[in-house]
Amino acid sequence: MEYIDPHIHMVSRTTDDYETLARMGCVAMSEPAFWAGFDRGSVESFRDYFRQLTQFEPKRAAQFGIKHYTWLCINAKEAENVSLSREVIAMIPEFLSEPNVLGIGEIGLNKNTKNESTIFLEHVDLAVKYNQQILIHTPHLEDKYQGTRMILDMLMGDSRIDRSRVLVDHVEEHTIEAVLENGFWAGMTLYPVTKCTPQRAADMIERYGPERLMANSAGDWGPSKPTAIPDLIMELKRRGHSRELIRRVVYDNPVAFFSQSRQFVPLENS
């Protein structure tokens, strides 16, 4: 079954992974800007990183017939450095017209601090100013519930936000309901230990239905499994779910969401 991974960090994966993903049915992916594993020192580091996301990765993906899209931001972890964050935010518009940029992301919170919240709101201002979609990172583990509630407070307090153009990622059992009930898209991340399993994601699909719901692997430089979406497909098949339901979550929904970005090219035209 063809699928799209809406959240995967291919800068941290080898080219072999692109080949494996292509063989397993991945036809497109979206890669949000994230933490490198260390705190970057300057805005120029981010400029180079954005060049990698907008120029190098699409070419690497194209070798295997995969369409690569990206999102730009300074991630929540590095947002604690307010002055650097503001330099990066000021630089982002240089890249917004690149053909694979879908919007601003993955913005969010990490430890739910005041600085992180301030920079989150400044990213939202940027997204509104340039009419960009937004992809949101919700914190890990014990910080997730508090951080998700804080993020939703900020978004719902802003009448400029079109919630149908916002994806709140890394939802789990205690955060998914608030995200969906309030009209946002929700992403379930299939990542060992710190996030969700294919089985729990399948449970959430059964409980809440496929509307505005996606799944992703968030494959990165930590212990992760970029082939996690095929695992979810297998789990849903094992449970007897229809091909239509499965395709809706892993293909149709990402297309529907991304089609709201002017840079997204329908896959049959790629």
Q: Is residue 26 within 8 Å of 229, Cβ to Cβ?
A: yes
80 binds another protein (CB under 8 A): no
Among 86, 140, 225, 241, binds another protein (CB under 8 A): 241
Piece of 39-47, 84-92, 235-243, 256-264 that binds another protein (CB under 8 A): 235-243
Token pair of 230 as six digits? 């095929």
CA distance between the termini of the chain: 18
Among 23, 129, 239, 243, binds another protein (CB under 8 A): 239
Least Å distance between CB 170 and another protein? 12
Cis bond before residue 106 (omega within 30° of 0): yes
8 binds another protein (CB under 8 A): no
How many residues bind another protein (CB under 8 A)? The answer is 37
The residues near 37 (Cβ < 8 Å, ≥ 6 apart) are 12, 221
Piece of 39-47, 141-149, 160-168, 254-262 that binds another protein (CB under 8 A): 141-149
Least Å distance between CB 77 and another protein? 17
Of the candidates 118, 69, 116, 77, the one whose C-alpha atom is nearest the C-alpha of residue 95 is: 69
Separation CA 190–CA 5 (nearest Å): 11
Among 82, 208, 260, 265, binds another protein (CB under 8 A): 208
110 binds another protein (CB under 8 A): no
Query: 213 in the Ramachandran plot: left (φ > 0), alpha (ψ -120 to 50) or beta?
Result: beta
Among 192, 211, 221, 243, binds another protein (CB under 8 A): 211
Give the count of alpha carbons within 13 A of 149, CB side only: 5
The residues binding another protein (CB under 8 A) are 112, 114, 117-118, 121, 141-146, 149-150, 153-154, 157, 172-174, 177, 180-181, 200, 203, 205-211, 238-242, 245
